[in-house]
Chains A and B, each alone.
Chain A
């Protein structure tokens, strides 16, 4: 879709397309501020799920019959939709996975096979556990070295330190595009250039960016980009690994089974072409098709307007919270979006989360799968409000009043 046909961004209209937002929780209108964990689904996605299982359900890539071909066409169409959305050069570069975690594990295993003892992997101190643990496992398996680029107290990557850790032994930089805990936006394009300058590849964890901004993997020049369908208004259990074709071609398959083969004998098996080489077994067909619908939905939105709106919402929430005595915002990066994490002196995040829940407000509390980051800030966890484009300023006002009430009860 060309820029010209994008609809103006009107939050009231957007909200109407998300039925889950229209419910009462403990007799209060739901305020859903846990979008970092997972997003709600628009009606078009819900309809597509229903449609798939009521009509098109058939196995793909292997049927002679009408329904199988129909399902295959839809599934492959979704791949192209996603390819176009993230501006990948070829649909072969779009690998369907189970999600971000699965994508990272795929790369850690498969790209990892190309590495040898002494090679280095560079991550940052703000990574999600799923962008830490697979690399630790790889390092153990292949005797590699894991390096961690530190952050400052504002929650920004310290570029000079990153530069010092990057060297000719670095074979992969794995970095989150946006921190799920802090909201920090990392300069991934700049980091990609730096990585490439020493001959390293770069994997960008897009779990928290794909739903908030327009993504152009070619402009970013990342080698891998991973995300989860469920955080970008699609179903759970489906996600995407984008990889540059030349690199994916060099990598060995991750799992063996049906669909990923070209010819099997007991003596020898030749593998299928991309992307099927990395998609063993019957995939999450409904998931793939419906994720495609989610991206069709997103394609109609002006993502720049969305990003601006979400940033204003988060800034507004943060400014209001900042006025509370004893409340500390965790993550004050200059470039930040969509997430506000905070702690209150003398009050456990879990208590605030519990009281907000009883007021119909869904936030997340705890370490957000970033324990090393919590250790860095020396806190047990935070309360995190994470926004999506369907949230409103009125909701933020109610949230702020509820936080105030909760703090007063707990003090």
Chain B
């Protein structure tokens, strides 16, 4: 499945929900399911401080692909992280660096990635892209 396929899949999943609360119910469930980052990896150098919530992000390269794990102290943030990781993890650094995360807009969650939200998500995506750029030669 390509990165774009994954985005389309998420968009389809969200089409089922006809109101905000149902959408958020789903995101919260995703947040509860998200595999936690290894406890010993919840260190300050992996912490992305937002004004509203904090995010921890870890990345490794396995067989030329980027693997992201993450956690957040707020469950909605965590659920959205789950979506972002589903799309961006297990992809080559090149596809991550180039990725246009349009699904966030389509499913109506762009506000969470706006600078004004200050929940750490925007910085997290930026950090994921930066990691990808730094690992371009590892693919």
Contacts and interface: CB of A to CB of B under 8 A. Distances in A.
B95 interface: no
Contact of A380 (B28, B73, B77): B73
Interface in A218-242: none
Contact of B52 (A359, A365, A410): A365
A26 interface: yes
Interface string B105-139: 00000000000000100000000000000000000
Interface residues of A, number: 18
B25 interface: yes
Contact of A358 (B21, B52, B73, B77): B21
B51 interface: yes
Contact of B53 (A350, A355, A358, A359): A350
A354 B21 contact: no
B73 A354 contact: no
A246 interface: no
A353 B74 CA distance: 11
A351 B51 contact: no
Nearest to B72: A348
A370 B116 CA distance: 19
Contacts of A405: 21
Given A350-B74, A351-B76, A410-B28, 13 more contacts: A348-B73, A350-B52, A350-B53, A351-B74, A351-B75, A354-B24, A355-B21, A355-B76, A358-B21, A366-B52, A380-B54, A409-B28, A410-B75
Lowest 3 CB-CB distances: which A-B pairs, in order?
A348-B74, A358-B20, A350-B74
19 contacts: A26-B20, A347-B75, A348-B53, A348-B73, A348-B74, A350-B52, A350-B53, A350-B76, A351-B28, A351-B75, A355-B21, A355-B76, A358-B20, A358-B24, A367-B51, A409-B24, A409-B25, A410-B28, A410-B75
